[in-house]
């Protein structure tokens, strides 16, 4: 969708315009620049270690630069989680803090992380959390490149992935955003890389398989701990592993599925238990916000963007007196009403979902500027004032639009060309992206919610780039598994 339309700042819904120029530039980039012989020869001849040093240094410096610029104090949920951590430290929670953690118990994992960091470096030490995010950004960038290597069994593809990741500027722009999305995505992609390393033909629990299964367990445990929405990654891994296990009668992939399930259950339960132990606040699951409330919000039409985040969940929660069951009843009633409207007005339903999906997947900045708190008062510096200007933001938007369109084009080319030979295990990232697409189509959303599922398309884009090169064209008909052998399921 980004090839044809671009949503500019959908939170304000300023305008929707035909992005033909960006699509043409992205197409020319894919066809001409990526096939430029001298450029590709230089990439292929560059030492991998040197490439990684330059690549990771660049990602880290860009993250640090953005941390220095977007240095405002956290607000909304971010601020409430810091207050929650303070309450844990003092063993005393205010009424607002009790309401927050009771309403959103799935935030307990990240609250515990803030609590631990506060104990080590001092309360409200925002810079430390942001530096941790910069390190997590490094890990995520590294994981995406390693994924491209495992998918293609080619170091040159890995090098090209480094360039694609570097060009995707929103990734480093989220370093100042104090939330669990970047660390969680980094951990989840690392888990997928270890899953891809386990051959489908492996019949025994060898030491290599045990190591990769254990690593998967650890990474998924951390991913769910930091942000439970990484369950989409976990579900995809389980589906792929169980399918391989059934068809190939492979015990190794049964272990993969089991590790995923146990990691999720532990990471979903432990944080809330620990928070209750430290605060002394009783286990009151009857007051947690039900999942149906977020679906009901995601099906609502608003003056901004259909299905965009609004205050609906808080409104019905207050109407229900904080009772989870009653809130769920109100939400389900709203869902039924909206489904009835969609059924009776299919043209309206089509327009609703086209706008909602477009606002997520065709917004090239993925809400990175809006998520960054860049001061614009008398204390701000020249660069900060510059970034708050419309002209500078339009330049950033245009660059992101071209890169996003190029990634979509390349990922499509790679999957289409390999459609007859690609294996189920190699389709893992596509299944994750598809799962994220379906999940966010009904859930309340913002465009930054879609970014983790967009990122997993980058390894496919890197593989396509290699296929488009003159040297890579000779390998187009070769099928590579994670072990370098072709297999089909």
DSSP annotation string for 179-227 = SSHHHHHHHHHHHHHHHHTS-TT--S--HHHHHHHHHHHHHHHHHHHH-
Are residues 450 and 436 in contact, defined by beta-carbon separation less than 8 angstroms? Answer: yes
Measured from the Cβ of residue 444, the count of other Cβ atoms closer than 10 Å reads: 20
Q: Is the pLDDT of residue 287 over 90?
A: no
d(CA 372, CA 177): 6
Q: What is the average pLDDT score of the chain?
A: 82
Indicate whether 179 and 211 sit together in one domain: yes
Look at 85-99, 172-186, 455-469 and tell me which has the smallest mean pLDDT: 85-99
What is the band of 25 on the pLDDT scale with cuts at 50, 70, 90? Answer: low
Residues 244 and 298 in one domain: no
Please report whether residue 111 resides in a domain.
yes
The domain total for the chain is 2
Percent of the chain clearing pLDDT 90 (strictly above)? 33
More confident residue, 14 or 219: 219
| pLDDT, position 145 | 95
DSSP string, 85-103: HHHHHHT---HHHHHHHHH
273 and 302: one domain? Answer: no
How far, in Å, CA of 11 to CA of 173, rounded? 18
Q: Tell me the Cα Rg of the chain.
A: 23
Range of the domain at 457: 39-283+381-473
Answer yes or no: is pLDDT of 367 > 90: no
Are 206 and 111 members of one domain? yes
On whether residue 369 sits in a domain, the answer given is no
Rounded to whole angstroms, the Cα distance separating 353 from 300 reads 11
pLDDT category, 434, cuts 50, 70, 90?
A: very high
Q: Given this model, what pLDDT does residue 94 score?
A: 55
User: Are 164 and 193 found together in one domain?
Assistant: yes
The most confident of 77-86, 119-128, 427-436, by mean pLDDT: 427-436
Question: Is residue 459 in some structural domain?
Answer: yes
CA distance 240 to 256: 10
- Burial category of 16 from C-beta neighbours within 10 Å (exposed 0-12, middle 13-18, buried 19 and up): middle
pLDDT at 53: 94
Q: Domain for residue 376, yes or no?
A: no
Domain-located, residue 433: yes
| Band of residue 480 on the pLDDT scale cut at 50, 70, 90 | very low
């Amino acid at each position: 969708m980004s090839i044809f339309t671009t949503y500019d700042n959908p939170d304000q819904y300023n305008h929707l315009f035909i992005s033909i120029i960006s699509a043409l530039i992205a197409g020319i980039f894919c066809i001409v620049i990526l096939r430029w012989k001298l450029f590709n020869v230089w990439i292929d001849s560059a030492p991998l270690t040197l490439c990684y040093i330059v690549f990771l240094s660049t990602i880290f410096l860009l993250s640090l630069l953005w941390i220095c610029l977007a240095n405002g104090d956290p607000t909304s949920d971010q601020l409430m989680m810091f207050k929650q951590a303070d309450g844990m430290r003092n063993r005393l929670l205010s009424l607002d803090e009790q309401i927050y953690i009771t309403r959103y118990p799935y935030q307990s994992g990240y609250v515990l992380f803030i609590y631990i960091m506060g104990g080590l470096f001092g309360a409200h030490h925002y810079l430390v959390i942001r530096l941790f995010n910069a390190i997590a950004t490094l890990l995520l960038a590294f994981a995406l490149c390693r994924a491209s290597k495992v998918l293609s069994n080619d170091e040159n593809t890995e090098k090209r992935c480094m360039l694609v990741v570097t060009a995707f500027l929103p990734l480093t722009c989220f370093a100042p955003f104090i939330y669990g999305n970047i660390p969680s995505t980094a951990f989840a992609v690392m888990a997928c890389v270890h899953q891809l390393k386990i051959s489908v033909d492996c019949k025994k629990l060898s030491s290599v398989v045990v190591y990769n299964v254990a690593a998967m367990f650890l990474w998924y445990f951390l991913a769910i701990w930091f942000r439970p929405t990484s369950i989409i990654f976990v579900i995809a891994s389980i589906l792929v592993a169980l399918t391989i296990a059934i068809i190939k009668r492979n015990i190794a992939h049964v272990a993969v599925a089991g590790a995923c399930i146990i990691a999720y259950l532990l990471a979903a339960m432990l944080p809330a238990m620990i928070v209750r132990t430290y605060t002394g606040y009783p286990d009151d699951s009857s007051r947690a916000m039900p999942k149906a409330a977020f679906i009901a919000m995601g099906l609502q039409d608003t003056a901004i963007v259909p299905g965009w985040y609004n205050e609906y969940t808080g409104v019905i929660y207050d109407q229900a007196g904080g009772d989870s069951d009653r809130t769920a009843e109100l939400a389900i009633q709203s869902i039924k009403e909206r489904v009835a409207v969609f059924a009776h007005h299919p043209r309206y339903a089509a327009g609703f979902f086209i706008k909602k999906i477009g606002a997520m997947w065709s917004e090239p900045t993925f809400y990175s500027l809006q998520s960054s708190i860049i001061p614009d008062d008398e204390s701000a510096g020249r660069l900060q004032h510059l970034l708050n200007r419309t002209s500078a933001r339009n330049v950033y938007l245009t660059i992101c639009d071209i890169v996003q369109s190029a990634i979509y084009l390349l990922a499509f080319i790679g999957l289409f060309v390999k459609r007859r030979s690609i294996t189920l295990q190699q389709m893992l990232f596509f299944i994750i992206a598809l799962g994220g697409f379906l999940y966010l189509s009904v859930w309340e959303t913002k465009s930054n919610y879609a970014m983790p599922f967009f990122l997993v398309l980058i390894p496919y884009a890197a593989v396509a780039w290699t296929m488009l090169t003159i040297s890579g064209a000779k390998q187009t008909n070769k099928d590579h598994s994670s072990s370098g052998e072709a297999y089909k399921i």
